[in-house]
Structures are given as structure tokens and as C-alpha cells.
């Protein structure tokens, strides 16, 4: 039997155990949802034949989940509580789910449910939307479907990671179109339920300027502009968690002086925009990591990376004590050695971004069909040549570029055997559990329940259908000049 519903009527009839459609409202039924039905709705939400079928599947899933308390939320108030000292002792994992989103997220929710972990984030970067071919509404629906499938009855934190300005375009005649592209993405993410957005204008920090204030000036002004834009578009009753960034990951390490220069400039710029706008809740810094890890000539991730934990601790303490933020955010960390992760809660980092290792776990799993992996690598060699650097070995090139094959092979990846999915899912679950334990988010469901309120924002069926008609452009697939 195909996992895809062939018509809206067929879908709604099959979804009767979850509830019934009454115009633009979906009235949820009581009782436990059927797992096989959720699987079919998720697959249809990702691969349905028409926008109407895909959008309706997502609408049903999200409406049924919301009735069971599974709905998007902002982590802003929890981070502000951390800034006051009313919560803390843990580092929130922000997980970029690139491959097999539904099945991978199911593994994460199984781990979270067992640990009673509530402070976890699912995110996707501007770059990843393109090469994984997951627009925000689809990504949100798949994460929420996974929570519903695994009977995770808590709030779900969805985050727009690296809503990043392309520095080359900003410094050209394309400046205003580039900024409007980001505004459009922010509107799309908010409409999808992304109530956590990381603004990344750190690409525009100019280290050639004489003073720290001059170096950070454009970063501060644009950060304030985008904060104001977000506040103007956030739903009633929701204060979206906005993140700022002072150091581009992979570049110069950050220090407290840069933090002060950025925060003084940002807060002054925000004040000039009128009213009493809520500012950022956290600050991303650079302490020695790189997106994707540092890759050796053999295509393996190096384990000898040195993180400046003293700087991370100093930055986190200053962010909390002097500016009331949750703390500093660590990027590019998923490929660090296993014994590194318990250092982040000790250093007071409020959030850590994890992405590439989950992709590696799938690509390198013995249960992923070898022929599929070979086809993906062959595609990379032909279609992702822009990722090849002059001194790369073939192994380095494949490792760094294979992310670009995720979108073109999304449906084959989702269609591997149930046995292979189960084996990969078990490995991912172990990894998620390990990270959650090391980052001390077990038991944080209580802190989320105490500090976070999530008003129910009704899902509009027509909006889901219109979003399902969205396409990934060729430029988005290339994701040139953007971090992930």
C-alpha cells in the first residue's frame, strides 16, 4: 500500500480517527492517534501530488497535535529566567535535522520523552532550507508530526537558524534585494510557527575598522532592524526569541570586549527605533569551532579541536549578569569528541547548535543502502563542484559537499525499508540521548512548564496549502556564501 494519499477526500476520510474537518477548523477526536495513520499523513505532507493534498495533510497533523498540547513555542522567557538566575545548569541543544526529518525527529523525541527533556530546539538554517529542500512549513509539520507519533505531549521549539546576510550581496547593488529576501524568510518562518529566530549579521563585522564599536556597527544596526521587524510580525501573546551573533563561526574567537561593544550598539540602535521593544535573549559567539568540523585529508573529522572554554564562560557570565540574556550560544559543535559536551553546561552556555554529526550518522550507517549512498556521492561529484577547494582530497570534497545531495535524494531516503529506518533510528536515538544527558536537559520539562506559555495560534488550512505550493529556487539549492 502506498504511504501517500491520492486525494483530499481520501485523506480526510482516513483521518477520521484523528478528527473531522469543519470548514477551516479541524475538530480533534479523543483517544490515542494511530501510528500508521500519522506515518501516512507525514509522507503525504512531504511528497503529496498537489499543494492541496500536502497542505491538508500538514493542517490535519498540526491541528491534531495542537489539541494534544503539542504546539510551537518561544524559548524567550526561559532564557530570560536563566538571565535572572531563576533557571539554569543546562545547555539547550538546538538540532538541525537535515536528513529523513520525520524519522530522525522521532528518534529525538523518544530520547527526550524518556529523559523528561523539554528544553530542546529543532532548527533549520537559511542555507539548509535550500539544499535539503525543506521549506519552513514542511519542516515544522514534520517535526510536530514526529512529536505526535512518539506521544511527546510538550511544547515544540522551532528555530530559524542563521537567518544570515550574504556579505558579498550586501556590499553590492544587491543589498536591498538581499535584505528583502531575509524579511520574506522571517515572515515565512513566523507563519510556520518558528517562534525562535537567530539573526546572523555577523558576516558584516569589519575587523579592519579601528575600534570595536566601528567593527560591530553594521551588525548592531541590522540586528536592531530585524528585531523590530520580528516584533512587528510576531503573533499576539508570543515574544519570539531572537538571537544575535558577534563572531562568525570559523573566524576569529570572540571576547568580552566585543560582546560589550555589540550590546551597547545594539541596545542603543533598538532604543532609537521607538517603543520598548524586547531585545535578543542570547548571543552567539566564536570559540574555536567550525561548521561541519575540521576535516582531515582522509575525509574524517579531526578530534583535536581546542575550544576556548574560558572565553565561553566569561561571555556567558557577562551576557547574563550585565544584559539579562540566557547566555552565550556555541555553534559548530556536533562533531566534537564525546568527552567535550559536559563542559558546556559547566561554562554556562545557554544553547549549543548540533547538525553535521546527525547527517554523518545517517550517511555512514551500515543500514543505509550502499547503492543509494553511491548514487548520492556520484551526484555530488557531478553537481556540487562549487564545494571543491583547490587543495581538497577527494575524501575531503565528498565529506564537505555531500550535504548538497540531501534534497535531490529526499524521497529515496524516506523510502528505505522499515528495517533500515529502525536501525538508523535506534542509532540516532542513542546519540540524541547521550547529548541530552551530557548537556543536562533531562528533567527540563519542569522548567519549560514553569516559564513558557504558548498561546494556541489556529492553523489555517488555506495558508498551509499556499505554503505547500512553495518551491526551492536554484539559488537556494546552491546556498553560496551562507553558513549552516
The confidence score (pLDDT) of residue 458 equals 85
**318 and 189 within one domain:** yes
Mean pLDDT of the chain: 93
**125 and 261 within one domain:** yes
Please enumerate, as own/partner, the contacts of 316-319 that have beta carbons within 8 Å and a separation of 24 or more: 316/347, 316/348, 316/349, 316/350, 317/348, 318/256, 318/259, 318/260, 319/83, 319/259, 319/282, 319/283
Average confidence (pLDDT) over 88-93: 98
Is the pLDDT at 113 greater than 80, yes or no?
Answer: yes
**381 and 326 within one domain:** no
CB atoms inside a 10 Å sphere around CB 378: 11
Instruction: Tell me 254's DSSP state.
Output: P
**395 and 330 within one domain:** no
**376 and 340 within one domain:** no
pLDDT digits (tens, 9 = 90+) for 20-74: 999 888 999 988 899 999 999 999 999 999 999 999 999 999 999 999 999 999 9
pLDDT band at 286 (very low <50, low <70, confident <90, very high): confident
In 201-331, at which residue ranges do the beta strands (DSSP E only) sit? 241-245, 282-285, 328-330
pLDDT band at 306 (very low <50, low <70, confident <90, very high): confident
- Host domain of residue 389: 370-405
State the CATH number of the domain containing residue 130: 3.20.20.70
Q: Which residue has the higher pLDDT, 331 or 320?
A: 320
Is the pLDDT at 225 greater than 50, yes or no?
Answer: yes
Query: Does residue 31 belong to any structural domain of this protein?
Result: no
Is the pLDDT at 249 greater than 60, yes or no?
Answer: no
First to last CA, the chain: 37
**300 and 260 within one domain:** yes
**149 and 103 within one domain:** yes
**253 and 396 within one domain:** no
Cα–Cα dist 354/97, whole Å: 9
* Element counts in the chain: helices (H) and strands (E): 21, 10
Average confidence (pLDDT) over 448-453: 97
Over its C-alpha atoms, the chain yields an Rg (Å, rounded) of: 21
**375 and 242 within one domain:** no
Query: Does residue 14 belong to any structural domain of this protein?
Result: no
Query: Does residue 477 belong to any structural domain of this protein?
Result: no
Query: Does residue 352 belong to any structural domain of this protein?
Result: yes
**357 and 385 within one domain:** no
Is the pLDDT at 12 greater than 50, yes or no?
Answer: yes
**pTM to 2 decimal places:** 0.95
Query: Does residue 95 belong to any structural domain of this protein?
Result: yes
**379 and 315 within one domain:** no
Instruction: Tell me 295's DSSP state.
Output: B
**Three-state SS annotation for 407-440:** CCCHHHHHCCCHHHHHHHHHHHHHHHHHHHHHCC
Number of structural domains the chain divides into? 2
pLDDT band at 343 (very low <50, low <70, confident <90, very high): very high
**219 and 89 within one domain:** yes
pLDDT band at 302 (very low <50, low <70, confident <90, very high): very low
Amino acid at each position: 500500500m502506498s504511504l501517500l494519499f491520492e486525494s483530499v477526500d481520501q485523506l480526510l476520510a482516513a483521518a477520521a480517527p484523528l478528527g473531522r474537518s469543519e470548514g477551516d477548523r479541524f475538530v480533534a477526536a479523543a483517544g490515542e492517534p494511530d501510528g500508521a495513520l500519522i506515518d501516512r499523513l507525514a509522507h503525504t505532507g512531504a511528497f503529496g501530488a498537489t499543494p492541496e493534498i500536502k497542505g491538508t495533510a500538514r493542517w490535519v497533523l498540526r491541528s491534531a497535535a495542537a489539541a494534544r498540547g503539542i504546539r510551537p513555542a518561544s524559548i524567550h522567557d526561559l532564557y530570560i529566567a536563566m538571565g535572572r538566575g531563576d533557571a539554569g545548569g543546562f545547555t539547550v541543544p538546538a538540532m538541525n535535522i537535515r536528513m529523513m526529518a520525520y524519522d530522525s525527529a522521532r528518534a529525538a523525541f523518544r530520547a527526550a520523552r524518556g529523559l523528561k527533556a523539554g528544553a530542546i530546539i529543532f532548527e533549520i538554517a537559511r542555507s539548509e532550507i535550500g539544499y535539503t529542500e525543506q521549506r519552513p512549513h514542511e519542516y515544522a509539520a514534520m517535526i510536530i508530526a514526529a512529536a505526535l507519533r512518539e506521544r511527546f505531549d510538550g511544547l515544540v521549539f522551532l528555530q530559524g537558524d542563521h537567518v544570515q546576510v550574504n556579505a558579498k550581496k550586501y556590499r553590492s547593488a544587491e543589498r536591498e534585494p538581499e535584505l528583502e529576501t531575509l524579511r520574506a524568510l522571517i515572515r515565512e518562518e513566523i507563519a510556520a510557527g518558528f517562534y525562535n529566530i537567530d539573526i546572523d549579521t555577523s558576516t558584516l563585522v569589519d575587523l579592519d575598522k579601528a575600534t570595536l564599536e566601528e567593527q560591530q556597527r553594521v551588525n548592531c544596526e541590522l540586528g536592531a532592524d530585524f528585531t523590530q521587524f520580528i516584533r512587528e510580525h510576531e503573533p499576539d501573546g508570543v515574544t519570539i526569541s531572537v538571537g544575535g551573533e558577534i563572531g562568525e563561526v570559523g573566524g576569529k574567537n570572540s571576547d568580552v570586549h566585543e560582546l560589550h561593544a555589540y550590546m551597547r550598539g545594539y541596545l542603543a540602535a533598538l532604543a532609537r527605533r521607538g517603543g520598548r521593544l524586547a531585545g535578543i535573549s542570547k548571543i552567539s559567539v566564536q570559540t574555536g569551532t567550525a561548521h561541519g568540523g575540521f576535516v582531515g585529508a582522509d575525509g574524517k573529522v579531526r578530534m583535536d579541536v581546542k575550544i576556548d572554554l574560558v572565553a565561553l564562560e566569561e561571555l556567558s557570565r557577562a551576557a547574563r549578569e550585565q544584559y539579562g540574556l540566557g547566555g552565550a550560544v556555541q555553534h559548530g559543535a556536533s562533531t566534537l569528541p564525546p568527552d567535550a559536551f559536559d563542559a558546556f553546561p559547566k561554562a554556562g552556555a545557554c544553547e549549543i547548535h548540533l547538525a553535521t554529526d546527525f547527517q554523518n550518522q545517517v550517511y555512514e550507517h551500515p543500514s543505509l543502502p550502499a547503492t543509494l549512498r553511491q548514487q548520492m556521492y556520484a551526484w555530488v561529484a557531478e553537481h556540487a563542484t562549487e564545494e571543491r577547494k583547490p587543495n581538497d582530497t577527494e575524501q575531503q570534497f565528498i565529506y564537505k559537499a555531500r550535504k548538497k545531495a540531501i534534497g535531490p535524494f529526499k524521497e529515496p531516503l524516506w523510502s528505505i525499508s522499515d528495517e533500515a529506518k529502525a536501525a538508523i533510528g535506534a542509532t540516532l536515538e542513542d546519540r540524541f540521548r547521550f547529548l541530552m544527558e551530557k548537556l543536562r536537559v533531562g528533567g527540563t520539562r519542569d522548567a519549560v512548564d514553569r516559564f513558557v506559555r504558548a498561546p494556541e495560534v489556529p492553523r489555517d488550512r488555506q495558508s498551509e496549502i499556499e505554503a505547500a505550493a512553495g518551491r526551492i529556487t536554484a539559488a537556494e539549492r546552491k546556498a553560496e556564501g551562507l553558513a549552516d
